[in-house]
Chains A and B, each alone.
Chain A
Amino acid sequence: MTKTPLQFRHNGRDVALFVDGGVNLLVALRELIGDMTPKFGCGQGGCGACSVLIDGELHLSCLTLAETVNGRAVETLDGLKDGPNLHPLQRAFMEQFAAQCGYCTPGMLMAAKALLDRNPSPTRAEVVEAISGNICRCTGYEPIINAVLAAATSGRARA
């Protein structure tokens, strides 16, 4: 099978690889780049576990052809920390018990980041809307919503 060359920014670092036609971004990130933070939950756009940011916008990597991110910037949970320092969202998720098995957490955090990046002071309803494409089967959504709101508050306090 012929492979297509592909270059993009992955969490601020340039990566170059060759992909088979039809390979999705989730597989490219996990299997070719080795970034295991986006998760496979369904492969069909139903769960949000594979959520990543492409040029700052929330996308489902399982439904994104790898080739389409050529020349763009992809962010995953792996790039959320600032060196050893947790992002306010990560701290808030820890403090608010917003993860149980943790499998939905990478996607939840990216959905929440997409929200706070464009709207640092969301209402509860806006948080609910922002994570509505992300399924969590363990924690219950209340602690997750509370964590996002708490992160927004602490982010404002820092700014």
Chain B
Amino acid sequence: MLELRKDIFADERDDNLKEIGKGTQRQDMLGHVTGTSTYFDDHKLQGMLHLKVLRSPHAHARLRRIDTMEAERAPGVRRIIRGADVPINLNTLLSLINFGKDDEPSLAVDKVRYKGEPIVAVVADSPREAYEALAKVRVDYEPLPAVFDVEEALKPGAPVVNETYPKNTFVYHDVYDHQKLRFGDVERGFAEADHVLEQRYQMSPIEHAPTETNGSIAAPDTNGRYVVYTSTQALFFSLDTCAKILDVPSNTFHFIGGTVGGGFGGKVDTLTEPLAILGAMLTGRPVRYQLGREEEMQFGSPRGAERIYIKDGVMRDGRIVARKIRAYFDSGAYTRLSSYAVVKCVAHLPGPYTIPNVHGDVYCVFTNRTPATAMRGFGVTAMDFALECQMDKLAHLVGIDPMEFRILNAYRDGDMKAHRREAKNTALIECVQVAAEKAKWPLREEVKRMSSRTDGGGSRAAISPTPREPVPQRAAVSQQRTTYDRAPAATVQPPPPAPPTPPPPRPQAPSPSHGATRFSSVFGTRRR
């Protein structure tokens, strides 16, 4: 049973908790233990066909020719699907909230940009016949130089991974090749500091490895609609993404899901639904598209890799006075959700600590790796790994206990955070105190008495003078658009007003849509 520490922040709530702290049976547990919970693959429909895709063996290659003649004549084959069959064969997931440019095809047409990118789909009577037909597809590849390292990708002359973003970085507000955070003057902070410590951190990509692989089954319904059983974690998001890619109103689809065999972020990318539905549209039969385990592990999007440089200035008494961070998020070949992860990361800098001078530059970089996606706290998790390693090293450097060092630097109520929001309902000090107590880690009496709710604000609420930086000029819209992009080129927006000094990290689209505004509201969430 959960142990509730009601003594902490006791005056912040009525003590009338009816559910928290009590055991409650999950509503889906009986289904789980009897094996009657229905996952997407537990639907067997009359006349169901099976879809499998041909994946690129190259990390980067031009597609000179795709020959499906022999595959079409293979036994059991009902339909071959190529890029030209996909109504809108270019999408970016967050286009649903007006964020980013369409950059990813459902089936590659002129180029493949990562190993495992889908090129051709086969719909056949059985999975085996689909695989046998795939083996008969002939693709003439012209391998291209590939780039796998985020910093190499930013060097002049690096191979262009994704022509929608020719500089290999996501572009924010049509201007910025990265997200910036400027708060105070780090250089002055370093000059004043007793010690300066600079370190490099690298987080690997991490596969979610859900026990159930990604998949979906789409079937024509009698009313002209399609019913779709799916493993998605994001039912309506996937539904709208399919409506866009297949160029039909979203009420064409009846999505059924919710019972997901493990997701952890790896089932938000709408990896299988568009092709399953298209297969059903083209054959008039139910179509099942389930990733195999190898596909899931090799080509299902992982948590993205991050390279992080942190430079800190610290005083002998343990106060951190300056923190400068440069980080590169490896988005892989396409954007998916990494652009958003960067925004979230910058809003999180410099971690849950009050530091008067903070400087952050975070890039969303394209490489010829598997596109990255959401995973449990993405954008923050890897950065926190780096920040907390750094905190231990700093504590060691100044000879202060690492728990006390965190308490000493923690946000308190009333402090100004680096993204210019007042810190409210902070609780890091209390968390560290409880963690120390549980771990039987000795804290000095004086540190045990510290509180998030005292000694904050005042001079800690100030924004120290922040030097201005030149604002880059908005480039004329000359994005090279791919041949299969049907959408008209974006019209040129008037340049945005010069950002206030210093530019806040929240995204302000030139013409914010309702969605874009809601999107930025993630930075305004408070506990109360």
Known: A77-B34, A101-B211, A137-B264. A40 touches B41 (CB 8 A): yes
| A43, A81, A90, A101: the one within 8 Å of B261 (CB) | A101
In the complex, B37 has a CB within 8 A of chain A = yes
Does chain B have a CB within 8 A of A103? yes
A90-B33, A99-B32, A105-B35 known; A137 vs B42 contact (CB < 8 Å): no
Task: Give the residues in chain A near B260, CB-CB below 8 Å.
Answer: 101
Contact of A103 among B26, B36, B211, B292 (CB under 8 A): B211
A70 at the interface (CB under 8 A from B): no
Q: Is B398 an interface residue (CB 8 A)?
A: no
Q: Are A41 and B212 touching (Cβ within 8 A)? A: yes
Q: Chain B residues with Cβ under 8 A from A90's Cβ?
A: 33-34
Interface string of B472-489 (1 = CB under 8 A from A): 000000000000000000
In chain A between 34 and 68, which residues have their CB closer than 8 angstroms to a CB of chain B? 34, 36-37, 39-44, 46-47, 49
Give the size range of B's interface with the partner: 20 to 34
What CA separation (Å) do A136 and B292 show in the bound complex?
Answer: 18
Q: When A36-B42, A94-B30, A138-B262 are in contact, do A47 and B211 touch as well, CB less than 8 Å?
A: yes
State whether B28 touches A102 (Cβ < 8 A): yes
**In the complex, A78 Cα to B128 Cα: how many Å?**
27
Q: Produce 1/0 per residue, B14-28, CB < 8 A to A.
A: 000000000001101
Q: State in angstroms the CA–CA spacing of A47 and B261 once bound together.
A: 13
- Find out whether the CB atom of A94 lies under 8 angstroms from the CB atom of B211: no
User: With an 8 A cutoff between CB atoms, is A73 at the interface?
Assistant: no
Contacts of A97 in B (CB 8 A): 26, 29
Nearest-Cβ distance from residue B288 to partner chain A, whole angstroms: 11
- Report chain A residues within 8 Å CB of B292: 43
Residue among B26, B30, B37, B210 facing the most chain A CB atoms (10 A cut-off): B37
| B290 contacts across to A, CB distance below 8 A | 40
Interface residue tally for chain A (C-beta within 8 Å): 38
Closest residue on chain A to residue B26 by CB atoms: A97
Q: Once the chains bind, are B44 and A34 in contact (CB under 8 Å)?
A: yes
For residue B519, CB closer than 8 A to chain A, the reply is: no
Complex: chain B residue closest to A136, CB-CB: B211
The residues of B that contact A99 with a CB separation of less than 8 Å are 29, 32-33
Closest A residue to B42 using CB positions: A36
* B139 CB–A CB distance under 8 Å: no
- B126 to chain A: closest residue by CB: A20
Give chain A nearest CB distance to B394 CB in angstroms. Answer: 32
Verify if A93 is at the interface (C-beta below 8 Å from B): yes
Beta-carbon contact of A101 and B212 below 8 Å: yes
Q: Which residues of A contact B41 (CB under 8 A)?
A: 39-40
- A126 and B340 CA atoms in complex are apart in Å by 46
Question: Could you tell me the distance between the alpha carbons of A98 and B293 in the complex, rounded to whole angstroms?
Answer: 24
Q: Determine if B203 is an interface residue (Cβ-Cβ < 8 Å).
A: no
Chief secondary structure at chain A's binding surface: loop
Tell me which residues across on chain B come within 8 A of A142, comparing CB atoms.
none
Q: Does A149 contact B (CB under 8 A)?
A: no
Name the residue on A nearest B292 (C-beta): A43
Interface residue? B237 (CB, 8 A): no
* Distance of A103 Cα from B260 Cα, bound (Å): 8
Q: Mark B258-285, 1 if CB is under 8 A from A, else 0.
A: 0111111000000000000000000000
Q: Are A135 and B34 in contact, CB atoms less than 8 angstroms apart? A: no
> CA of A41 to CA of B215 in the docked complex: distance in angstroms?
12
List chain A residues, Cβ under 8 A from B261.
Answer: 39, 41, 101-103
CB contact between A102 and one of B32, B128, B208 (< 8 Å): that residue: B32
Contact A103 B33, beta carbon cutoff 8 Å? no
Is A31 part of the binding interface, using a Cβ–Cβ cutoff of 8 Å?
yes
Cα distance A30–B213 in the bound complex, in angstroms: 16
> Given A31-B44, A43-B292, A137-B264, A103–B35 Cβ distance below 8 Å?
no
In the complex, what residue of chain A is closest to B75 when comparing beta carbons?
A1
Q: How far is the CA of A137 from the CA of B207 in the complex (A)?
A: 12
* CB-based contact A105/B264 at 8 Å: no
Q: How far is the CA of A47 from the CA of B293 in the complex (A)?
A: 10
A152 at the interface (CB under 8 A from B): no
Residue of A nearest to B39 (CB): A103
- Could you tell me the distance between the alpha carbons of A103 and B292 in the complex, rounded to whole angstroms? 16
CB of B157 closer than 8 Å to a CB of A: no
Q: Is B494 among interface residues, defined by CB-CB distance under 8 A?
A: no
State whether A105 and B32 are in contact (beta carbons under 8 Å apart), knowing that A31-B44, A34-B44, A41-B212 are contacts in the complex: yes
A109 interfacial by beta-carbon distance below 8 Å: yes
Q: Decide if A16 is an interface residue (CB 8 Å cutoff).
A: no
Q: State the CA gap A43–B296 with chains docked (Å).
A: 12
B86 CB within 8 Å of chain A: no
- Choose one: A22, A43, A101; the contact of B262 (CB below 8 Å): A101
B293 touches A42 (CB 8 A): yes
A106 to B36, CA, bound (A): 10
A74 beta carbon closer than 8 Å to chain B: no
With an 8 A cutoff between CB atoms, is B209 at the interface? yes
Most interface-central of B25, B210, B262, B290 (chain A CB within 10 A): B262
B38 cross-chain contacts in A, Cβ below 8 A: 36
Interface contact B33-A109, CB-CB below 8 Å: yes
CB proximity to A under 8 Å, residues B43-89: 44
B212 touches A93 (CB 8 A): no
Determine which of B28, B35, B128, B262 lies in contact with A106 in the assembled complex, contact meaning CB atoms within 8 Å.
Answer: B35
Mind listing 26 A-B residue pairs with CB under 8 Å?
Answer: A30-B44, A36-B38, A36-B42, A39-B41, A46-B293, A49-B212, A76-B35, A77-B35, A78-B35, A80-B34, A86-B33, A93-B29, A93-B32, A94-B25, A94-B30, A94-B33, A97-B26, A101-B32, A102-B28, A102-B31, A103-B210, A103-B212, A103-B261, A105-B35, A136-B211, A137-B211
Given contacts A101-B210, A135-B211, 13 further A-B contacts (CB under 8 A): A30-B44, A40-B212, A41-B212, A43-B293, A49-B212, A77-B34, A101-B260, A101-B261, A102-B33, A103-B262, A104-B211, A137-B211, A137-B264
B contact set with A: CB distance below 8 Å: 25-26, 28-39, 41-42, 44, 128, 208-213, 259-264, 290, 292-293
